[in-house]
Amino acid sequence: MATKAEHITQLKSDNAELYKNVNGVRIKLSDSEYDAQIDEWATNAAAQDAKDTVIADGGSHADYKAIRKNAYISALGDAYDQLDYIYHNGLDAWKAEIKKVKDKYTKP
C-alpha cells in the first residue's frame, strides 16, 4: 500500500503537465492548479488503497465500517448457499466456516 507522498511522486512522474477543458477549450493547468490536482488524486488514491486493504485483509477498521460490513456480508455468501452447505456438511462445519469470516472481519 503506497503512501500519499509516494502517490504524489508517481503521479508527478506520470504527468509532467496537466490540462483542463473549459467550455471546449484545452488549457494547461497553472503551477498551483497542477499541485492541487496532483494532491487531490494522491489523497483519493491513498484512501482507495486503505479501502482495498480492508476488503482484502479484513481486520478491525473503525473508519471503514460500511466497507467492512459489505465485505463481511459478501464473504458470508448467499443464505441459500449456506443452507445447502449445512444440509451437506452439518451445523458444526458451517459454524466453523462462519467463524473464519467473523474472525477476519472483526468489529472495531
Partner 1 sequence: MGYYGKSNAANPALIAATEVSSDTASVTFDKVFNGETNHYRLVIVDLTVDNADCDVRTLRRLNGSDVTTEMDTMGIANELQASGASGNFTNATTDGLNQFDRNETGSDSTRHTLSAIADYFPNVANMPSMFHQSISIGAGSNALGSADNAFWFERSNQLIGSTAFDGIRIHTSEGNIAGGKFYIYAMV
Burial class (CB in 10 A: 0-12, 13-18, 19+), 38: buried
Q: 5-37 burial by CB neighbour count: b if 16+ within 10 A, else e?
A: eebbeebeeeeeebeeeeeeeeeebeeeebeee
Q: Which of residues 47-86 bind partner 1 (CB under 8 A)?
A: 48, 52, 66, 70
Using the contact rule CB under 8 A, the part of the chain among 12-20, 53-61, 87-95, 99-107 near partner 1 is 12-20
Does position 18 interact with partner 1 (CB under 8 A)? The reply is yes
Name which position in 20, 95, 99, 107 contacts partner 1 (CB under 8 A): 20
Name which position in 37, 53, 82, 98 contacts partner 1 (CB under 8 A): 37
Least distance (Å) from partner 1 to the CB of residue 91? 26
